[in-house]
Amino acid sequence: MKDSICVKRKRVSDYVMYGLIYACAASSVLLLVGIILYVLVKGAGQINISFLTNVTSVLRGTVGIAGNIVNTLYIIIITMLIATPIGIGAAVYLNEYAKPGKLVSLIEFATETLAGIPSIIFGLFGMMFFAQTLGLGYSLLTGSFTLTLMVLPLITRNTQEALKTVPDSYRSGAVGLGAGKWYTIRTILLPSAMPGIITGVILAIGKIVGESAALLFTAGSAYTLPKGISDIFTKTLSSGGTLTIQLYLSAQKGEFGIAFGIAVVLLVIVLLINAATKLLTKKFDVNREK
């Protein structure tokens, strides 16, 4: 029968398009897997307890990144301790107190712009302002202050988004019972927005771990461990190289074993952070569905 609806006609161009699209998808996955495998193959051999718990020392004949791990931890903790309250405070102000208008638009525009500035510029600013003008020199504190500036927009934005998803009916309900504004924010809005806030915090930590340019001119490169309990706080005033900085320096010196070893450690950390974010967003959705 002519023009039967049952006859299948596949065009060659359909097959070609399908093939091309498939190739695009495959190459992106393969590229990513390729990079990860390459790093793992080159660096996994370096990883052992000694590498992770020792500090590189000519005197003792050890090679290790313990100092860098500790420095990275310092930078993460100090930066988050400063950026989290300020970021959340800014978001609460923008969402709950400020009247929509020029000031709010200005602050939001500034936050967005800050988020897009290349990190090396933050490094330059940090070097000039925190290191030189404030006299902190190359130190973990200088590095943390600089990263605070970088990470603040992230926390503010995520907290704002989280607060926006809290239904207005909660606010009305609380006010109807006589609750004041801050009491409502403290007892209902912030707890409700917590999953979103935590997601922002974890993303910020991810950004800190991966940061190199901003720390290059600010935190320095030393990798000694704190000498004792009293040194734990004073160490913040001295220079400290994070994992990323050490990777750069080792690669520069041609010590590729160490460089790839650090790369593996960083990959594992990034993987863990992504997994944590995924878990949290899943938990968040489950809570919302109820």
Partner 1 sequence: MEQKTKISVKDLNLFYGENHALKNVSMDMKENAITAFIGPSGCGKSTFLKTLNRMNDLVDNVKITGQVLLDQEDIYGAEVDTTTLRKKVGMVFQQPNPFPMSIYDNIAYGPRVHGIKDRHKLDEIVEESLRGAAIFDEVKDRLKKSALSLSGGQQQRICIARALAVHPDVLLMDEPTSALDPISTLKIEDLMEELKKTYTVVIVTHNMQQAVRVSDDTAFFLLGEMIEYGNTKDLFAYPQDKRTEDYITGRFG
* Residue of 169, 228, 233, 286 that binds partner 1 (CB under 8 A): 169
Give the shortest CB-111-to-partner 1 separation in angstroms: 23
Which tokens hold the place of 146?
A: 């600089």
180 in contact with partner 1 (CB under 8 A):
yes
By beta-carbon proximity to partner 1, the closer residue of 161 and 255 is 161
287 in contact with partner 1 (CB under 8 A):
yes
* 201/7 Cα distance (integer angstroms): 58
* Residue of 5, 49, 58, 177 that binds partner 1 (CB under 8 A): 177
> DSSP characters for 101-139?
SHHHHHHHHHHHHHHHS-HHHHHHHHIIIIIIIS---SS
CA-CA distances (angstroms) from residue 236 to 115, 124, 248, 284? Answer: 26, 20, 22, 36
Are 158 and 200 contacting, i.e. CB atoms less than 8 angstroms apart? yes
Give the shortest CB-172-to-partner 1 separation in angstroms: 6
By beta-carbon proximity to partner 1, the closer residue of 118 and 191 is 191
102 in contact with partner 1 (CB under 8 A):
no
Q: Which stretch binds partner 1 (CB under 8 A): 5-13, 57-65, 175-183, 219-227?
A: 175-183
- Give the contact letters, 47-86, x = binds to partner 1 (CB under 8 A), - = no: ----------------------------------------
Q: Which stretch binds partner 1 (CB under 8 A): 16-24, 176-184, 261-269, 270-278?
A: 176-184
65 secondary structure, DSSP code:
E
Tell which residue, 215, 48, 228, has the closest CA to residue 146.
Answer: 215
Element (H, E) at 221: none
- What one-letter code names the amino acid at 58? V
Give the shortest CB-231-to-partner 1 separation in angstroms: 44
- Give the contact letters, 112-151, x = binds to partner 1 (CB under 8 A), - = no: ----------------------------------------
- Name the 3-class secondary structure at 64: strand
* 20/255 Cα distance (integer angstroms): 41
By beta-carbon proximity to partner 1, the closer residue of 193 and 208 is 193
187 in contact with partner 1 (CB under 8 A):
yes
Binding residue count for partner 1, defined by CB under 8 A: 21
* 126/147 Cα distance (integer angstroms): 9
By beta-carbon proximity to partner 1, the closer residue of 164 and 253 is 164
CA-CA distances (angstroms) from residue 40 to 33, 210, 249, 260? Answer: 10, 17, 20, 8
